[in-house]
Chain A
């Protein structure tokens, strides 16, 4: 079983709709992250959470919100989707105190907003 899972894997929606992307992990990590990837732009950090009560904005948080329902779950919401939010979204986890600061990525969710 994958350590970091994302649902759905693919989603097509319409402008103005509310969308939730979910991330679950079985690694026991305290840190969780949401990134988006656009062609030619690499990955950009949307939000990150160091524990259930600690949520922080990343580089591009406008238009997004998150919820850390439990240590193992971190969801990303688009309250009113717009076409320029069409992208590949990745969830990642990490462990505080890990000297290597390695992040482990989920398989990604491809979101298309029409």
Chain B
């Protein structure tokens, strides 16, 4: 099956710093999504981004489908950004998501 690798596995930032999270995938996909899991376990969809670039406030994401990677940018990080960020992909067109192992982000004040 498809492999989804995320890096770095752990990241500690000072509040206000910027960061880039990376997701590499081993095969072509028709769906890529980024999720944030907060410290209480709740999963929230951040972006649906099979290709191109999107921005939502301090967050933005870019997927280069031909090179099989996606990047999530977090600018001016806040403590509420802490949690685990997951990349998930689908090859089937049925939205059957395969998740990466996540990047755990800790933002310290």
Task: Spell out A's residues near B (CB within 8 Å).
Answer: 31, 35, 40-45, 48, 50, 58-59, 88, 90, 92, 94, 100-105, 107-108
Contacts and interface: CB of A to CB of B under 8 A. Distances in A.
A45 B43 contact: no
Contact of A108 (B31, B41, B102): B41
B95 A31 contact: yes
27 contacts: A40-B101, A42-B86, A42-B99, A42-B100, A42-B101, A43-B86, A43-B97, A44-B99, A45-B98, A48-B96, A58-B96, A59-B1, A88-B41, A94-B95, A101-B33, A101-B48, A101-B90, A102-B33, A102-B45, A103-B33, A103-B45, A103-B95, A103-B97, A104-B45, A105-B44, A107-B41, A108-B41
Contact of B42 (A48, A94, A105): A105
Contacts, number: 50
B95 A100 contact: no
Which bracket fits the contact residues of B? 20 to 34
Interface of B: 1, 4, 31, 33, 41-45, 48, 86, 88, 90, 94-102
B83 to A, nearest CB: 13
A43 B42 contact: no
A44 B73 CA distance: 25
A88 B42 CA distance: 11
